[in-house]
A and B are shown apart, each in its own frame.
Chain A
Amino acid sequence: MRVPAFARRGWLLLIGDPKAERAVPPSGFTAWLTSFTAAAMAFLAVFAMAFSFAAGRLADRWSDELARTSTLRLSAPAGQMEAQTATALEVLTTTPGVAEARLLSEAEQQALLEPWFGPGLPVASLPLPRLIEIIEEEDGFDAAGLRARLQAEVPGAVLDDHTRWREPLVAAAARLRSLGWLALLLIGASTGAMITLAAQAALAANAQVIRVMRLVGAQDAYIARAFVRRFTQRTLSGALAGMAAGMAALLLIPRTEVAGGFLTGLGFTGAGWLWPLAIPPLAALVAFAATRTAATRRLRDLS
Chain B
Amino acid sequence: MIELSHVAYSYGGGELFSDLSLTLSPGSFHFLTGPSGAGKTTLMKLCYGELIATAGEVRLFGEDARQMSRDGIALARRRIGVVHQDCQFLDHLPVSENIALPLTVAGRKDKGIQDLADLIAWVGLTKQASQLPPELSGGERQRAALARAVIMSPDVILADEPTGNIDWEMSQRLLRLLVELNRMGKTVLVATHDMALIRAAKQEVQSRVLRLTERRLQLAGADL
Chain B residue total in the interface (Cβ 8 A): 24
Please tell me which one of the listed residues B70, B92, B102, B107 contacts residue A216 in the complex, with CB atoms under 8 A apart: B102
A213 within 8 A of B: yes
Does the CB pair B74–A214 fall under 8 Å?
A: yes
Does the CB pair A219–B74 fall under 8 Å?
A: yes
Does the CB pair A216–B71 fall under 8 Å?
A: no
Residues 54-83 of B, flagged 1 when their CB comes within 8 A of A and 0 if not, give 000000000000000011001101100010
B88 within 8 A of A: yes
Residues of chain B within 8 A (CB-CB) of A221 are 71
Q: In the complex, how many angstroms separate the beta carbon of B111 from the nearest chain A beta carbon?
A: 13
Residues 192-228 of A, flagged 1 when their CB comes within 8 A of B and 0 if not, give 0000000000000000010111111111111000000
Please tell me which one of the listed residues A22, A23, A217 contacts residue B74 in the complex, with CB atoms under 8 A apart: A217
Does the CB pair B88–A218 fall under 8 Å?
A: no
B50 within 8 A of A: yes
Residues of chain A within 8 A (CB-CB) of B140 are none
A19 within 8 A of B: yes
Distance, CA A219 to CA B84, complexed state (A): 19
Does the CB pair B70–A217 fall under 8 Å?
A: no
Does the CB pair A212–B89 fall under 8 Å?
A: yes
Does the CB pair B107–A222 fall under 8 Å?
A: yes
Does the CB pair B88–A211 fall under 8 Å?
A: yes
Does the CB pair A23–B101 fall under 8 Å?
A: yes
Does the CB pair B90–A218 fall under 8 Å?
A: no
Please tell me which one of the listed residues B50, B70, B78, B88 contacts residue A212 in the complex, with CB atoms under 8 A apart: B88
Considering only residues 83-110 of chain B, those with a C-beta below 8 Å from chain A are 84, 88-90, 92-93, 97, 101-102, 104-107
Q: In the complex, how many angstroms separate the beta carbon of A24 from the nearest chain B beta carbon?
A: 9
Decide yes or no: A217 and B88 within 8 Å by CB, A22-B93, A23-B93, A303-B70 being known contacts. no
B152 within 8 A of A: yes
B40 within 8 A of A: no
Does the CB pair B90–A23 fall under 8 Å?
A: yes
Decide yes or no: A222 and B105 within 8 Å by CB, A215-B84, A217-B75 being known contacts. yes
Distance, CA A19 to CA B93, complexed state (A): 10
Q: In the complex, how many angstroms separate the beta carbon of A86 from the nearest chain B beta carbon?
A: 91
A121 within 8 A of B: no
A25 within 8 A of B: yes
Distance, CA A40 to CA B50, complexed state (A): 43
Please tell me which one of the listed residues B74, B75, B92 contacts residue A25 in the complex, with CB atoms under 8 A apart: B92
Leading 6 A-B pairs by shortest Cβ distance: A218-B105, A217-B78, A217-B77, A25-B92, A216-B102, A219-B74
Question: With contacts A22-B97, A216-B102, A219-B105 known, what are 8 further pairs, Cβ within 8 A?
Answer: A19-B104, A23-B93, A212-B89, A215-B77, A217-B77, A217-B105, A217-B106, A218-B105
- Report B's interface with A, CB cutoff 8 A: 48, 50, 70-71, 74-75, 77-78, 82, 84, 88-90, 92-93, 97, 101-102, 104-107, 148, 152
Q: What are 7 residue pairs bridging A and B, where the CB atoms are less than 8 Å apart in the complex?
A: A19-B97, A20-B105, A23-B90, A23-B105, A215-B88, A217-B77, A219-B70
